[in-house]
Amino acid sequence: MALLLLFTLVTWIFVSCQGQSYEIVHKEPSKCTANQYFQFSSFECLDCGPRQRRSVDGLSCVCQAGFKLVGNSKDVNGPTIQCESCSTNVLNKTASLDGTFCIECPTEVGFDLNTGLCNDCPANSFPSDREPDGAKRLKRECIACTAGQTAPWGIGEGSYCKICHPSFISSFTNLTLGSCTCNCEDCVQTGGVCLSGSNLIREPGNDNIYSISYSKSDKIVSYYFKENFRAVQALCRDKFNLTACQLLGNLCTLLTYNLDVYKLGSIATDACKEYYDLVIKAELGQVVNLNPQWPKVLPWLYYEEGSAVGDLNKKDIATKFRAGQTMQFTLAEYTLNGSFYRMENGTVPIQLCQDRPSKMVAANKFATTFRSSCSVPIKSLMDRHMLFYDMYMFIGNQKMYPIPVLVDNYESKGELVNQKLDRTEWQLVRRFFLVDNVVGKTGEQENLKFLRYAQSIEMLVRLRSSDGEIYPPLLKVKYNTKDVSDQLVVETGNVQVSFAVSYEMDFSKIIKDIEVNFMQSMDKQKSIFYPNIYKKTAVKKKIGRPL
């Protein structure tokens, strides 16, 4: 009985894993209703709660006008907020500028009953809800923008004053006029926020957690990693901050997904280890489409280790493509800091070689071998907006199927396993970038030392039948690095890049299909040209005796 139970359990696990489908329903911000926000980490439209509204960018919920924020927490779907009216008992009160408390409107401007807000301050003055030391005012004042709590970098922004991040206000001991400073005991200012040192990853006494290796001889301590890594890890872990979680994923992508530190199991850490630790922890809650590698609050970076052969041989894409038919791809784009940028269709956005639009879109035509290569000025790559991409293919009923990525530079224990012929050793991932022109510098005022770029991108499409059926396409990316510390190299240098789409055929399956089709065609011809003979032969086979 025990043996039977074990066999049943193993069989169930095997079937469950083999039956895992990666397709998800296509959603984008425009598909959400007026009271929903687009959760870009999971491509879902989620409802805003009571007394809330969708933010201007449509990517979160905020308190309605005249309501203050009374709490925020995290649940299985991500961060949540609770809001409370400020004008329940007093009509002259509204929410503070940072939304965290209620405040009386200035007498000289008054209260707008229709909006639940204070009227605007007179020209050349600005609303202020806090004293210069950060203490809450009982009544809003219209004053010049000079108080420290409203200008974290000491300057105004247009006609408005910047407000200190709430983490500074909640932990301040003394705010300096014209700036926000993290002065409290045990507080650390990092990543533009003020956090308790006890909640941050411990710095090991060296800068290894901020290091990036471009080659065996080229390794730097990245200023960007030093400024952001610990803060985004804490905000993602403790607050489920969706932007911070995306940035943590981007930092791991920039480490070319190396998991050696994670596998060592030591106290050492890096962005990929911290990302992977969060993925495997149950408290992250729900996952997208039953995919254990994709918690809703995090980007999906890794396919399960050792699953490359099975994932590349899946038969989930049932579409039968015709020669010349357009394959519909879409790209989810994110900025370096983790903000959702947009959804963009086609492969043109990831082609560094610019050409006639009609030629570039030919890469999307089924059964069309495509290749473009060119010399790109280094200066143009230095000026290019840095984005990260998750690629999908549309399949039937507006569903999206993720395109796996094979990074040529991925290393495991010092070996470039993705360059091996043995696909069982490959590590498939999801996210990639075209150019890294930010993290390769060592100081805020330093020039960029290393520029990294996608030297070659190739989409490989494997046919699994002669009817135009395919296995999941594979995007192969190879990065290269250029030392750009010499300005002359930046101004006059060029690099070679390429983009290609190629096709492979499962010959054994296709030959069998051809044989079957040929036999069916011959039978059809016999029935047309020799109807009597064919009919008699068929009867003979059916009844099993001579005529």
Confidence at residue 99, expressed as pLDDT on a 0 to 100 scale: 82
**Cα→Cα distances 512→199, 378, 465, Å:** 61, 50, 9
Amino acid at 414: G
What span, in angstroms and rounded, lies between the C-alpha atoms of 175 and 179?
7
Residues 146 and 165: beta-carbon distance below 8 Å: no
**3 state SS of 432:** strand
Confidence at residue 8, expressed as pLDDT on a 0 to 100 scale: 38
**Cα→Cα distances 119→39, 124, 136, Å:** 33, 15, 20
Which residues face 258 on adjacent strands? none
Contacts for 332 with CB less than 8 Å, ≥ 6 apart: 40, 43, 340, 343, 389, 390, 391, 392
Confidence at residue 482, expressed as pLDDT on a 0 to 100 scale: 96
Residues 254 and 436: beta-carbon distance below 8 Å: yes
E strands, 254-386, are: 329-335, 340-345, 370-377
What span, in angstroms and rounded, lies between the C-alpha atoms of 528 and 207?
80
Place of tokens 């569903």: 399
Which uninterrupted H or E stretch holds 221? Answer: strand 219-221
Give, for all 547 residues of the chain, the pLDDT tens digit: 444 434 333 333 333 344 566 777 777 788 888 889 998 888 889 999 888 888 888 888 888 888 888 887 776 677 888 888 887 656 788 888 878 888 988 888 888 888 778 888 876 677 888 876 778 888 888 876 443 334 323 332 333 455 666 666 554 444 444 456 676 667 777 767 777 777 788 877 777 899 999 988 889 999 999 999 999 998 898 888 899 999 999 999 999 999 999 988 778 899 999 999 999 875 556 888 888 889 888 999 999 999 999 999 999 999 999 999 999 999 999 999 999 999 999 999 999 999 998 899 999 999 999 999 999 999 999 999 999 999 999 987 778 999 999 999 999 998 999 999 999 999 999 999 999 999 999 998 899 999 999 999 999 999 999 899 999 999 999 999 999 999 999 999 999 999 999 999 865 555 555 555 555 555 555 554 444 444 433 333 333 333 3
What span, in angstroms and rounded, lies between the C-alpha atoms of 547 and 543?
10
Confidence at residue 533, expressed as pLDDT on a 0 to 100 scale: 41
- State how beta strands 494-505 and 435-436 pair: unpaired
